[in-house]
A and B are shown apart, each in its own frame.
Chain A
Amino acid sequence: DQQVKQNSPSLSVQEGRISILNCDYTNSMFDYFLWYKKYPAEGPTFLISISSIKDKNEDGRFTVFLNKSAKHLSLHIVPSQPGDSAVYFCAARSFYGQNFVFGPGTRLSVLP
């Protein structure tokens, strides 16, 4: 049973446009969410996080939105750049949980 889902395996976006990556979760106990970016043959790099007391967190070109009632979060990248091409993982953890649960990832391709 997948507790964290990323239903789009891949996404292509034109350079300069907005990229929107989506993530859905099923466990209502999750209260802390993260996005990671991963290049081939490298470990994931932490991008941005959000706790359940917020519905938006922004860091430069990256914004994460959380809709607790829908159990949905999204990562917006504006403007998208070719260097953003990577696999993006969504992860979630509950307050009492020791570990993060990762989604399967979405491969973003930003076309020049």
Chain B
Amino acid sequence: SQTIHQWPATLVQPVGSPLSLECTVEGTSNPNLYWYRQAAGRGLQLLFYSVGIGQISSEVPQNLSASRPQDRQFILSSKKLLLSDSGFYLCAWRVGVGPQHFGDGTRLSIL
């Protein structure tokens, strides 16, 4: 069966520091991969999606970037975090035309 792992579960970072969040999927090949952010009291905002290795599409201009170095690995990064980057970050995968399946998320707090 397919599983998705995100880490870390929680992270507290100072403003201006770098960021790297990692997501891996097991039990499937060539998934579409997604990064979402849920700000406090808000819905899910799609940040990036990838349909294959090295292929990244950005949905909104922002301080973050994404990379897909391997088929089942998706990384969310920033060189310098802003206060507005605080939120709950979710990775998701999908194969075919079915629903997306989400990881348990990373709670990012910027101080």
Contact between B103 and A34, CB atoms less than 8 A apart: no
Q: A49-B99, A89-B44, A105-B43 are in contact. Are A44 and B34 (CB under 8 A)?
A: no
Chain B, interface size category, equals 20 to 34
Residues of A within 8 A of B (CB-CB), count? 19
Interface residues in A71-112 by Cβ distance below 8 A to B read: 89, 98-100, 102-105
| Cα of A89 to Cα of B44 in the assembled complex, Å | 9
| Cα of A49 to Cα of B32 in the assembled complex, Å | 19
Q: A34-B99, A98-B32, A100-B100 are in contact. Are A41 and B105 (CB under 8 A)?
A: yes
Beyond the given A41-B104, A43-B105, A102-B44, could you list 8 further A-B residue pairs with CB under 8 A, ordered by the A residue number?
A: A34-B99, A41-B88, A43-B102, A43-B104, A98-B57, A102-B46, A103-B43, A105-B43
By secondary structure, the B interface counts as strand
CB B93 to nearest CB in A, in angstroms, measures 11
Across the interface, which residues of B come within 8 angstroms of A99, CB to CB? 34, 46, 49, 59
